[in-house]
């Protein structure tokens, strides 16, 4: 495409061919006493007259971001071990710390050595609504071994929107079928480096109440799903995201009474809570799937001193009283009393009874929510840095 100028007007020659010597002469016969006027076409550059042509970004032609690679099955051995390609083991130490080169290794995983499973949440700004869900598997020694002999005691399965170079993720764009899903496999130290050290994010691990067989089967199902082709499996912020896909995987090993439903009315009304990872603790707790208090891995203390998780004085007070044996009883009684008083003012005596029952249940649930928010332990990310 060529840009030319005529009497201060801009014209575009879309043929792409240039003829710098050609001129256009006015052929009308001038009236008597008038001069012949000649207009010349002259070639200009894209920057003449402050005109700038910007190349349009084409995501179809852009390469994938280098930190994401779909997992590939290399081998399933007779002893049950599974070897996977494209498992991420952290990043190279390069001067360009804003865009480091990832390290991928062929890795052998032994399901029989799974020790614990954690449903993991990575909050990010704004944390009140935004977070990422992951599944973390902890192993006994020798459970995760790379081809070069490197070892790790945990592996993380992260279901993400796969991005192209120059492409950014947003919750709104996630509704527009812009990104396919990718099931990214990585080691625990990889997550620490990427999320806690580079991004400054907390990692909250909720231990799951599963049998040994369920833990092993969940790992196998997660790996099998990771090896599938997700090129047409389009990410959706609400119905096909990191959280509900992890819940679906978890459902594959749960009995019917423990399965987590995504629907208020099956196939018609979707539960908004099933789309938001911040609801994980309440959902899992409601099904009896939490095996203990969460552990929060803090971001790097030197790089992100203002992002350390701390309890307020009010939080510390509730954590203290929640450890009392009378905490839940008193919460239920307080709720019952409040509900009964409200019900009696509306429709005594039936309202008193109904209001009391509803208030008691509500009081207990609120008490449990406070307990889940305030009862946790913390650990520094630095203890997991590569030696």
pLDDT in tens, 260-282: 999 888 878 888 888 999 999 99
Considering the domain architecture, whether residues 124 and 265 belong to the same structural domain is answered as yes
Q: What percentage of residues in the chain have a pLDDT greater than 70?
A: 83
> Does residue 342 carry a pLDDT above 60?
yes
Distance CA 141, CA 169 (A): 37
Selection from 121, 162, 177 nearest residue 297 by Cα: 121
Q: Under 8 Å CB-to-CB from 122, ≥6 apart: which residues?
A: 131, 132, 133, 134, 195, 201, 202, 203, 204
What's the pLDDT at 49? 52
Q: Under 8 Å CB-to-CB from 322, ≥6 apart: which residues?
A: 367, 370, 371, 374, 375
Considering the domain architecture, whether residues 347 and 246 belong to the same structural domain is answered as no
Selection from 235, 246, 237 nearest residue 270 by Cα: 237
Structural domain contains residue 60? no
Considering the domain architecture, whether residues 26 and 76 belong to the same structural domain is answered as no
Domain that residue 344 falls in: 314-374
Structural domain contains residue 81? yes
Considering the domain architecture, whether residues 27 and 146 belong to the same structural domain is answered as no
DSSP letter, residue 277: G
DSSP letter, residue 40: -
Q: Which range, of 128-137, 294-303, 334-343, averages the lowest pLDDT?
A: 334-343
Structural domain contains residue 103? yes
Structural domain contains residue 86? yes
What's the pLDDT at 296? 97
Considering the domain architecture, whether residues 217 and 290 belong to the same structural domain is answered as yes
Structural domain contains residue 346? yes
Asked if 143 and 117 touch (Cβ cutoff 8 Å), the reply is: no
Mean pLDDT over all residues of the chain?
84
pLDDT tens for each residue of 87-109: 999 999 766 566 789 999 999 99
Residues for the chain: how many in total? 387
What's the pLDDT at 90? 94
- Going by pLDDT thresholds of 50, 70 and 90, the confidence category of residue 2 is very low
Total domains in the chain come to 3
Considering the domain architecture, whether residues 303 and 320 belong to the same structural domain is answered as no
Considering the domain architecture, whether residues 229 and 142 belong to the same structural domain is answered as yes
Considering the domain architecture, whether residues 168 and 125 belong to the same structural domain is answered as yes
Considering the domain architecture, whether residues 138 and 260 belong to the same structural domain is answered as yes
Considering the domain architecture, whether residues 86 and 124 belong to the same structural domain is answered as yes
Q: Which range, of 125-129, 243-247, 248-252, 339-343, averages the lowest pLDDT?
A: 339-343
> Does residue 344 carry a pLDDT above 90?
no
Task: Name the pTM for this structure.
Answer: 0.79
């Amino acid at each position: 495409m060529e840009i030319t100028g005529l009497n201060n007007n801009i014209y575009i020659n879309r043929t792409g061919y240039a003829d710098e010597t050609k001129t256009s002469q006015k052929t009308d016969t001038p009236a008597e006493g008038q001069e012949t006027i000649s207009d010349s076409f002259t070639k200009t550059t894209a920057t003449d007259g402050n005109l700038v042509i910007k190349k349009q970004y084409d995501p179809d032609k852009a390469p994938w971001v280098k930190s994401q690679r779909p997992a590939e099955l290399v081998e399933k051995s007779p002893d049950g071990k599974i070897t996977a390609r494209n498992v991420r083991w952290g990043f190279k130490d390069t001067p360009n710390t804003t865009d480091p080169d990832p390290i991928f290794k062929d890795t052998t995983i032994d399901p029989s050595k799974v020790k614990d499973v954690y449903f993991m949440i990575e909050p990010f700004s704004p944390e009140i609504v935004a977070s990422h869900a992951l599944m973390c598997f902890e192993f006994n020694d020798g459970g995760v071994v790379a081809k070069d002999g490197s070892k790790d005691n945990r592996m993380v399965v992260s279901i993400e929107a796969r991005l192209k170079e120059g492409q950014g993720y947003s919750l709104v764009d996630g509704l527009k079928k812009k990104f396919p899903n990718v099931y990214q496999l990585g080691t625990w130290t990889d997550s620490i480096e990427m999320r806690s050290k580079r991004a400054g994010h907390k990692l909250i691990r909720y231990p799951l109440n599963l049998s040994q067989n369920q833990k092993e089967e969940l790992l196998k199902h997660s790996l099998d799903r990771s090896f599938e082709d997700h090129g047409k499996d389009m990410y959706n912020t609400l119905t096909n995201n990191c959280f509900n896909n992890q819940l679906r995987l978890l459902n594959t090993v749960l009995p019917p009474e423990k399965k987590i439903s995504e629907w208020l009315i099956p196939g018609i009304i979707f539960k908004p809570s099933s789309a938001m990872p911040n609801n994980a603790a309440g959902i899992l707790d409601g099904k009896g799937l939490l095996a203990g208090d969460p552990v929060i891995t803090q971001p790097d203390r030197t790089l992100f001193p203002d992002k350390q998780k701390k309890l307020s004085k009010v939080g510390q007070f509730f954590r203290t009283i929640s450890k009392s044996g009378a905490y839940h009883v008193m919460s239920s009684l307080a709720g019952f009393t409040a509900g009964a008083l409200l019900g009696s003012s509306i429709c005594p005596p039936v309202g008193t009874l109904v209001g009391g029952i509803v208030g008691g249940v509500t009081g207990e649930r609120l008490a449990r929510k406070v307990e889940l928010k305030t009862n946790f332990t913390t650990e520094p990310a630095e203890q997991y840095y590569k030696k």
